[in-house]
Structure 1
């Protein structure tokens, strides 16, 4: 009995080790050199899913997958057994058509397709250098209990079960199927009764799926905030609301003005309106940041500096926020043509010196100053500051 157990242990150890450490005869994932329809037909004949690596030639993470992950023998062992594999440049030939058909919006996107109906059973957006990550995602694609059709079937059977709904929402989110996820989330939240709305399971759905202040889910959270605070806890609920606003504001912060035709003005106006009603943590700081964005978009660089002056003694600005806010303001000035305004910016830059606690912060500060001197036409000082910044690497 002990010998059998020992033998089982040794065999298990060998199997586990072989999935982690590549062998000397690495096979890697074997990709077909064929068209989409040919690969699809072969997958149908062999009763396998079709795996497509949707890439572009300029995509860094795509290159990483091809160089590091796909050649690994552990990846090859699983993929070559369970899938017919195809690489497709989404900007050339039939890749352009497939990109529209399968709504590819980011790279890399990894598709797992049922050849019988060309239905996407699993989708992965993004990349990771760890082979275990890739094989783990592929296992979900091959598992009818974890892939999208399976999750959808269980959701259809029980649309009121919070854990089931959450698993389906997570699957849709992982596949970047935002529209479908939002639709399911809206249906579920709308169906909740007052009796079960504030359960811990439902809070898990809100905490993981409600991330945009413009969404139906966030409207639901704001509407029922008192009840969630009472049942889940004021700190947790307030932190969730603040985090949603934080990331929404951060997406508008750039170092340069966005061309008017590219600026999402309706979304910006909606966020400004929402923040007018928000009085929680960092409320005044987020409003100040959006005011900064608005001034920059209007090209009002004097207004930018006046706004900065107005926050100098604002208690809402902690040291880290003051450094960040000032640094962003001054970076925007690199596009200003008024030397008077630029000089005001350089004077403010000196006020940041007490906050330069790390080499990275000092390097950013030097590069910001060099950009301001460049805007003034002082190429000599610009060059000297850049050289000093290079030494900080």
Structure 2
């Protein structure tokens, strides 16, 4: 019984494969090996994840039984995403710059034929056969340049160029051929594809020729074919009028188009007449009338027309920037998508509906009211957006961020336009698990996810700096932390990359910063270590991680001065020494000894640093503290050359009085002297509050 069941399942699987095109998951090299073994060429579908026509071909064409019968029998079928894996290299090799593109390649990797664009199965097979039977483009081109192609052969050459995506060449060859054709030739059905490609505007000479000979062409190529051409000329013209705000003179044609529609036999006349009304509303900048017409005629338009009118509405209403009309467009779109059968069109209209709803709320960020992160990711996948994931709690900082940042119009307009926004409370529901999954240790952190749930970027310290600028790094592969993190985990250790990664981590105060800084420093040679490119490594943020970087800076100060300038180098070295000395005052575990301080003083004197006097004074003050001196008299003497605001009075005051509270009066007296010598109102106010004066 079990054997019979296995046989049945096997037969069922083989029937499913034969019923549709069997695209195998093979690299191009493996596909070539199979093509050689089976003595077949390769049919390669070049697609991208965001390409609507690619999805249409995948869902509606290659799933047909007739497609499976043809392509499985004659080709090794492979499909490759042009933005992943070997896709970009293949695209470059075979000059793929539009999607979908279909390549027919032999077992040696030579391109035999190329087709560009989505098309019905019958047309696709016809074009594949046309390319395989004809001469190559190169052979045709040589004969054409030598003037050895007759009109029929030139027609074949034009057609091959057209289906191969050679737009400019096809246009030139087509123009040349059209000039050669007599009136009688133009009536010949052989040249109908060329005539059809040129008859694109209502008032063009080619369309007038078609209309003047309509009955003849309907007999030659079919009534439906001629009707489709006439319809396309109207929809193309109207599409331009509703999508773009054209010069007023262009809209003067609307009554003419309306009259032509009313007085001629044009397919889908009623639908086209309603689109002329949309064109009139567009010409008059009348958003309300446009939406009234859109709302009232959803049942009249087919799926393709709905895609056109909604895409036009999205652009038109966004220009007006009115929240009421944007909200109404969202409502109409979310209602209209239920009447659409084409999945690609349906998806596009849903996107317009969701985005319009998001953009039409009150000022501030629109947070999705969804039940789980999975639903959020599904929404992001549908809309082709990233997820802006904000981790928060009930603390004061979270409330401040909501009030000051996420409630602002500028931030709201930006995030609503580019992201699906979702809040996660780290202490409720799935919040704790999601925070752990994405390495969020503290709240008030943003993690940007791609539609698969992978980290694209991280942003912390939300109230510091230019928030929108920091979030906008999501779209830059050289700054998005998640992208850099993935490259690091995959083994990229080039110094240039490591520097980008270090800078990104530094903004986040990430624990990984120290590891990457030490690793990068170890990778560099002496030339790189003293170059301006890696100068940032010596900032105390990084150099305090390990003494190696700080010691290298101090040991090679002259080299750095020669390459970067004495002022820049001395400023950072002074900042570094200042940081090291102050560390002794406010960090009880600081390991700096009196001997270390003496070495610093010698270094300052020998190097003749700018602000040497200030640094030496500070070093002597810290040395007194290290020797547990508590007398104000000694500290006043040591700090005599310092600017009043540079004296580390507060740290000394707190530490010394903790050791000897009986000295409070003399230290308060010195504090009052410092206040009297200050000029900056901010410092004066701070000191008075500190000393309770």
TM-score, normalising length: structure 1: 0.66
Report the structure number with the largest CA radius of gyration: 2
Deviations 1:124-159 (A, max 9, x none): 1112388xx333333221344531344457777974
Following superposition, the deviation at residue 195 of structure 1 comes to 4.3
- Residue 112 of structure 1 is matched in structure 2 by 448
2:591 counterpart (269, 278, 302): 269
Indicate the SS of the match to 1:138.
Answer: helix
- Residue 355 of structure 1 is matched in structure 2 by 677
Indicate the SS of the match to 1:76.
Answer: helix
Decide whether aligned partners of structure 1 residues 244 and 98 sit closer, same or farther in structure 2, where only a CA change above 3 A counts. farther
Deviations 1:332-379 (A, max 9, x none): 5665784x4223334434533541435444444444444xxxxxxxxx
Following superposition, the deviation at residue 30 of structure 1 comes to 1.8
Decide whether aligned partners of structure 1 residues 141 and 272 sit closer, same or farther in structure 2, where only a CA change above 3 A counts. farther
Which residues of 2 match residues 2-41 of structure 1 at below 5 A? Answer: 26-33=362-369, 34-41=371-378
For residues 567 and 451 of structure 2, the distance between their equivalents in structure 1, rounded to whole angstroms, comes to 49
Decide whether aligned partners of structure 1 residues 37 and 335 sit closer, same or farther in structure 2, where only a CA change above 3 A counts. farther
Indicate the SS of the match to 2:389.
Answer: strand
Decide whether aligned partners of structure 1 residues 105 and 212 sit closer, same or farther in structure 2, where only a CA change above 3 A counts. farther
- Residue 175 of structure 1 is matched in structure 2 by 508
- 1:141 paired to 2:488: no
Following superposition, the deviation at residue 50 of structure 1 comes to 2.3
Decide whether aligned partners of structure 1 residues 270 and 289 sit closer, same or farther in structure 2, where only a CA change above 3 A counts. closer
- 1:198 paired to 2:530: yes
Q: Which runs of 5+ in 1 are unaligned?
A: 5-10, 255-262, 296-302, 371-384, 386-393
Decide whether aligned partners of structure 1 residues 191 and 224 sit closer, same or farther in structure 2, where only a CA change above 3 A counts. farther
Which residues of 2 match residues 123-272 of structure 1 at below 5 A? Answer: 123-128=458-463, 133-151=466-484, 159-160=493-494, 162=496, 164-179=497-512, 181-207=513-539, 210-212=542-544, 214=546, 216-250=548-582, 265=589, 268-269=590-591
Indicate the SS of the match to 1:29.
Answer: coil
2:633 counterpart (293, 309, 318): 309
For residues 375 and 595 of structure 2, the distance between their equivalents in structure 1, rounded to whole angstroms, comes to 53
Decide whether aligned partners of structure 1 residues 182 and 343 sit closer, same or farther in structure 2, where only a CA change above 3 A counts. closer
1:53 counterpart (390, 395, 399): 390
1:289–1:325 Cα contact (<8 Å) kept: no
Following superposition, the deviation at residue 27 of structure 1 comes to 4.8
Deviations 1:284-309 (A, max 9, x none): 514634764x68xxxxxxx5532x32
Decide whether aligned partners of structure 1 residues 94 and 336 sit closer, same or farther in structure 2, where only a CA change above 3 A counts. farther
Q: What is the aligned-residue RMSD (CA, Å)?
A: 4.2
Deviations 1:207-242 (A, max 9, x none): 596352645533443454443234334443332222
Deviations 1:90-112 (A, max 9, x none): 34554444444434355531111
- Residue 67 of structure 1 is matched in structure 2 by 403
Deviations 1:314-334 (A, max 9, x none): 366413257x33454335566
Decide whether aligned partners of structure 1 residues 225 and 90 sit closer, same or farther in structure 2, where only a CA change above 3 A counts. farther
User: Matched residue pairs, number?
Assistant: 330
For residues 168 and 229 of structure 1, the distance between their equivalents in structure 2, rounded to whole angstroms, comes to 27
1:213–1:244 Cα contact (<8 Å) kept: no
Indicate the SS of the match to 1:122.
Answer: strand
- Residue 195 of structure 2 is matched in structure 1 by none
2:618–2:639 Cα contact (<8 Å) kept: no
1:109–1:126 Cα contact (<8 Å) kept: yes
For residues 271 and 141 of structure 1, the distance between their equivalents in structure 2, rounded to whole angstroms, comes to 45
Decide whether aligned partners of structure 1 residues 195 and 41 sit closer, same or farther in structure 2, where only a CA change above 3 A counts. same
Decide whether aligned partners of structure 1 residues 32 and 152 sit closer, same or farther in structure 2, where only a CA change above 3 A counts. same
Which residues of 2 match residues 315-354 of structure 1 at below 5 A? Answer: 317-320=641-644, 324-332=647-655, 338=661, 340-352=662-674, 354=676
Decide whether aligned partners of structure 1 residues 325 and 71 sit closer, same or farther in structure 2, where only a CA change above 3 A counts. closer
Decide whether aligned partners of structure 1 residues 337 and 96 sit closer, same or farther in structure 2, where only a CA change above 3 A counts. farther
- Residue 76 of structure 1 is matched in structure 2 by 412
Could you say which structure has the greater relative contact order, defined with CA pairs below 8 angstroms and 6 or more residues apart?
Answer: 1
1:89–1:95 Cα contact (<8 Å) kept: yes
For residues 103 and 147 of structure 1, the distance between their equivalents in structure 2, rounded to whole angstroms, comes to 16
Q: Which runs of 5+ in 2 are unaligned?
A: 1-245, 248-314, 323-358, 605-611
1:55–1:88 Cα contact (<8 Å) kept: yes
For residues 363 and 395 of structure 2, the distance between their equivalents in structure 1, rounded to whole angstroms, comes to 26
Following superposition, the deviation at residue 277 of structure 1 comes to 3.1
- Residue 231 of structure 2 is matched in structure 1 by none
For residues 419 and 360 of structure 2, the distance between their equivalents in structure 1, rounded to whole angstroms, comes to 23
1:207–1:240 Cα contact (<8 Å) kept: yes
